[in-house]
Each structure stands twice: as structure tokens, then as C-alpha cells.
């Protein structure tokens, strides 16, 4: 494991190894045990998409690991004024010990890894969100005690979260069902992988997907960069692709609900369901810190 570009690059064993390390680092942090595995090391954080959780969790994580983090927006870098990503990668590799990038195109992450000589971490692209899904899997395992054999259900847009959740669930032995509109399906390579590699259902019927689920995931209907599509997406998703009490009625009685945040209450999830499962959702948000620390230790330690 040289980089974290997408969930597809990880084996099931590597995912479990990262989750085990994340559990250990979380225990140490909660008990005041110092774990300065990255003392003297520096992570560059390139943000072409803004974020609350990604920035704060990576900066805090590097501090707790004894290192430091540099926030680099597109306004701070020549990459925002036309410098090729391959030149940026080679320059930053001379200064830093690792790069986390949160951007639009998956190819930009791939190019950083291709031309740079240091570990690259995908903090989010339009195609994949591996750091979030590692935190999601960590949270499910904390609550359920296992992953293998559980049923994961995803409701909503077939976006980066759907892509990464499907792959992460299949690779850790979960049964996975996703309900998305036909015109907003997950990526075709993800669907093909899941159909060939595990127990996977892709449907437009939210009740079929949620039946017997142990954990239900959702995400906003319009992601960052899709604001101009928001009204059309509300028309397509509204009244159907929502996590509500009726949907939970066909899931297992002790089903978890997870949301990567930010949440639009009344759209993809009702306020009542969100608040009823708030502890699970904010544990999920916290686990971004611990899962990402595990990734940084594995890649940069």
C-alpha cells in the first residue's frame, strides 16, 4: 500500500488492518497515550473543494501523531493558475512527507501519485471518498462487533459515497444493496465489480434495498459542484429516496443509520430519524480522525 486513491485499490485484508490500527489509535488517544508515529513529518493538504471534517480531522490527526499539516487551497498554489499537476507533484515531493488532496477529478489524484514520490491520500473526489468509508466501516464494526455477513443498504445518489461504500462493503464480506434512480446509478466499474465479487443488489426500489438491513447509509442528493442541478435532483429524488420511519420499518429492528454529513434534514433524511440516530452519526464523524490517522501512519510512518 503506497497510496490511498480509492477503495478498489485495497484488499479486504488491508481494510481490516487499517481498521484495527484505527481502533488502537483511538484507544490510545482516549486514554492519553501519546503516539507520535509521525514526529517531524509534514502533510500537505490540497483543497480544491472546501470541507469542515476533512480539514479539521487531518490537521488534528497530524498534530496528535507528532507531525504538522499545511493547508493549501487552490489560491495558495500555482496549480490554481495553470501549473500542471505533474510539476506540482514533483515539487511538493521535495518538501513534504505526504499529500492529502480534496478535489473534483479522480485523474488529478492519480496524476499526483504517478508523478510524485510521496504517499498520496484521496480526501475526496467526485468518484471516490475512501477516507470517509474507512470511518464508516470502523463505526459499523464498533456498534455491531463485525462486518462480515451484515447487510449494508445505501439510499440516494450513486455518487462517490455510493461507489466507495459498495466496494468497501463487498471487500469486507458484507451484503450490499443500493437504491438509486436509474439516471443516477453508481459508476459502472463499481457495479460490475460488486456483481462479480459478492452479494450485491442494485435497484430503484428503496424498500427492496432496505429490507433486513443492519445499517442504512445515505448522502445529499446534490453534492458539491452540482448546485446548479439541485432543483432537478429534488424532483427526481424527492418523496422516494429518503431515510424515514417507513423505510426503517422494513430494516432490522436494531438497524444503524449513517450519514457522512453535512445532512439536509427533510430531503435525504428526516429530522426525526437523524436525531434518533445522532449518536451513531457523530461517532461516524469522529472516526474520520482515527481512520485517517491509521492511513497516515500506514503510508507515512
Residue 129 annotated to the active site: yes
141 is catalytic: no
Q: Which three cell numbers stand for residue 158?
A: 450513486
| Residue 11 marked in a binding site | no
Is 23 a known active-site residue? no
Q: Which of 29, 48, 106, 132 is catalytic?
A: 132
Say which of 219, 233, 259, 290 is annotated catalytic.
219
Phi and psi at residue 255, to the nearest 5°: -65, 140
> Of the residues 129, 259, 277, 290, which is catalytic?
129
**Residue 122 is labelled as binding a ligand:** no
Catalytic residue among 141, 259, 288, 290: 288
Q: Which entry of 260, 277, 290, 292 is annotated as an active-site residue?
A: 260
CB atoms within 10 A of CB 191: 18
Q: Measure CA of the first residue to CA of the last residue in the chain; give whole Å.
A: 12
260 tagged catalytic: yes
Please tell me whether 130 is known to bind a ligand: yes
Q: How many Cα neighbours within 13 Å face the side chain of 174?
A: 31
Helices (H), the chain: 12-30, 53-64, 85-95, 106-115, 130-144, 160-171, 188-197, 206-210, 230-237, 245-248, 271-276, 278-300
90 given a catalytic annotation: no
Decide if 288 is catalytic. Answer: yes
Q: Is 102 annotated as a binding residue?
A: yes
107 annotated as a binding-site residue: no
**Cα–Cα distance, 153 to 161 (Å, whole number):** 12
List binding-site positions: 51-54, 78, 102, 129-132, 160, 219, 223-224, 260-261, 288
**Which residues contribute to the annotated binding site for carbamoyl phosphate?**
51-54, 78, 102, 129-132, 260-261, 288
Annotated binding site for L-ornithine: 160, 219, 223-224
Catalytic residues: 102, 129, 132, 219, 260, 288
Amino acid at each position: 500500500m503506497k497510496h490511498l486513491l480509492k477503495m478498489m485499490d485495497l484488499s479486504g485484508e488491508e481494510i481490516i488492518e487499517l481498521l484495527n490500527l484505527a481502533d488502537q489509535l483511538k484507544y490510545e488517544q482516549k486514554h492519553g497515550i501519546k503516539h507520535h508515529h509521525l514526529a517531524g513529518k509534514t502533510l500537505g493538504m490540497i483543497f480544491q473543494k472546501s470541507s469542515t471534517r476533512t480539514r479539521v480531522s487531518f490537521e488534528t490527526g497530524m498534530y496528535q501523531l507528532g507531525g504538522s499539516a499545511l493547508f493549501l487551497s487552490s489560491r495558495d498554489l500555482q496549480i490554481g493558475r495553470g501549473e500542471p499537476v505533474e510539476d506540482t507533484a514533483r515539487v511538493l515531493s521535495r518538501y513534504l512527507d505526504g499529500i492529502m488532496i480534496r478535489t473534483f477529478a479522480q485523474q488529478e489524484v492519480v496524476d499526483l501519485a504517478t508523478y510524485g514520490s510521496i504517499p498520496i491520500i484521496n480526501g475526496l473526489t467526485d468518484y471516490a471518498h475512501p477516507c470517509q468509508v474507512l470511518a464508516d466501516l470502523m463505526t459499523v464494526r464498533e456498534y455491531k462487533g463485525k462486518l462480515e455477513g451484515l447487510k449494508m443498504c445505501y439510499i440516494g445518489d450513486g455518487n462517490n459515497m455510493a461507489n466507495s461504500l459498495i466496494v468497501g462493503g463487498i471487500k469486507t464480506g458484507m451484503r450490499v444493496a443500493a437504491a438509486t434512480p436509474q439516471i443516477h446509478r453508481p459508476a459502472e466499474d463499481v457495479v460490475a465489480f460488486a456483481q462479480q465479487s459478492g452479494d450485491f443488489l442494485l435497484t430503484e426500489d428503496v424498500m427492496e434495498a432496505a429490507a433486513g438491513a443492519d445499517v442504512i447509509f445515505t448522502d445529499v442528493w446534490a453534492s458539491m459542484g452540482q448546485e446548479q442541478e439541485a432543483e432537478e435532483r429534488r424532483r427526481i429524488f424527492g418523496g422516494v429516496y429518503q431515510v424515514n420511519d417507513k423505510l426503517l420499518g422494513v430494516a432490522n429492528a436494531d438497524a444503524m443509520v449513517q450519514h457522512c454529513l453535512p445532512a439536509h434534514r427533510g430531503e435525504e433524511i428526516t429530522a426525526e430519524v437523524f436525531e434518533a440516530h445522532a449518536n451513531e452519526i457523530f461517532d461516524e464523524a469522529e472516526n474520520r480522525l482515527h481512520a485517517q490517522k491509521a492511513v497516515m501512519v500506514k503510508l507515512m510512518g
